[in-house]
Amino acid sequence: MHHPPTPPGPVPSIRLNSGFSIPQLGFGVWLIDPSDTSNRVSEALEVGYRHFDTAPVYNNERGVGDAIRHSDIPRDEIFVTTKLWNDQQGGDKPRESLLRSLDELSLEYVDLFLIHWPVPAQDLYLHAWEKLVELQEAGLVKSIGVSNHNVDHLDRIITTSGRQPALNQVELHPAHQQRELQAWAASHDTKVASWGPLGQGQYPLLDTPPIVEAARHHGKSPAQIVIRWHVQQGFILTPKSSKKSRMKENIDVFDFELTPAEMQSIHAMNLSDGRGRVGQDPAKFNDAWVPAI
Ligand code: NAD
């Protein structure tokens, strides 16, 4: 399938500690059916997305790669992230996993490779990180980072390796704002990326008064308000939707600005002590559980 050339979108780029840049807003493909993924990613490319977030455990890397290959868009204009799953952290498995992902994606490199979860009971994430450094030096991946790592995991990685992850992709949305990680990131060269940026539709985020009021004020949808709240804090995010109309909506957030008072009213939605969490707790998630897609 061929796509009409899309003019460079208004999505800002964020420079990572590797020297490479990442489009701040991208498209996530968790829970997109493997057989639909190529079509959904083609639609996302048409709409203007140039950053895609996948993982072997999503079982849809092939669809992401097919859509990229069938588009007219040069490889170096597209940013692809994949991850290392929990039972692949030991020995030479990080390398084997990346080579398998490159094969699935039909790509020669990925832009970003993340340790998906620290799995503290296994205590292999330091080893996995050393392997990621080697893979970056071999040119198979441009930037390396982590996901779901708490401050203690990050500190151990940096103390042991002397290298800071380019970013840490964590559950982050108005009910679960990760204040401790945000404070940590402010004094490190590790960016914050939000997964489940819309709360995965699992709690009534989009019906909450501060968001509904801001939406009315700006003539935008509640989802656009939440995405804009992430953008204004400098977070990197990849909201997911299978509907093309929502893909368009979710990227159309660069023509307005939330006021300080609106930002503040959304900050106030945070629930402390992990009560707003919709996913797993990284300190306790210790198995190689595979989600049913
Ligand atoms: P999300 O917060 O992006 O929520 C997606 C859901 O929100 C959709 O299924 C839909 O129900 C709803 N939605 C989307 N657009 C909407 C709109 N405009 N209006 C109303 N509702 C809308 O959750 P997610 O998909 O879990 O997170 C985004 C991406 O983050 C994933 O696809 C994946 O790439 C990544 N992720 C990473 C991890 C990790 O452990 N590293 C975990 C979960 C997700």
- Among the listed ranges 34-43, 99-108, 164-173, 271-280, which one has the minimum average pLDDT value? 271-280
Residue 207 pLDDT exceeds 80: yes
- Average pLDDT on 151-164 reads 98
3-state secondary structure at position 96: helix
Answer for the pair 120, 148: CB distance below 8 angstroms, yes or no: no
- Give the pLDDT confidence score for residue 292 in this predicted structure: 40
CA–CA distance, 140 with 102 (Å, rounded to integer): 9
Residue 288 has a pLDDT of 62
Measured in Å, residue 199 CA sits from the centre of ligand 1 at 7
Any residues with CB less than 8 A from the CB of 56 and at least 6 apart, and which? Answer: 82, 83, 85, 88, 97, 100, 101, 104
Q: How many CB atoms lie within 10 A of CB 19?
A: 9
Question: What is the structure's pLDDT at 289?
Answer: 55
Q: What is the pLDDT of residue 201?
A: 86
Domains and CATH numbers, the chain: 13-198+233-256 (3.20.20.100)
What span, in angstroms and rounded, lies between the C-alpha atoms of 57 and 152?
A: 25
Q: Is the pLDDT of residue 6 over 90?
A: no
Confidence class for position 10, pLDDT limits 50, 70, 90: confident
Atom number, ligand 1, closest to the C-alpha of residue 173: 2
Ligand 1 geometric centre to CA of 222 (Å): 14
Q: Give the pLDDT band (50/70/90) at residue 9.
A: low
Instruction: Please determine, for residue 250, whether its predicted confidence score (pLDDT) is greater than 90.
Output: yes
Active site includes 58? yes
Among 82, 170, 241, name the best residue to mutate to test ligand 1's pocket (greatest count of ligand atoms within 8 A of Cβ). Answer: 241
Q: Kindly report the protein residue whose alpha carbon is nearest to atom 34 of ligand 1.
A: 28
Query: Smallest Cα–Cα separation from 152: which of 121, 184, 130?
Result: 184
Residue 42 pLDDT exceeds 60:
yes
Nearest CA to ligand 1 atom 15: 241
pLDDT in tens, 54-87: 999 999 999 999 999 999 999 999 999 999 999 9
Mean pLDDT (whole number) for 128-150: 98
pLDDT for residue 286: 87
- Collapsed DSSP state (helix, strand, coil) of residue 47: helix
Mean pLDDT of the chain: 94
**Closest ligand 1 atom to the C-alpha of 116?**
41
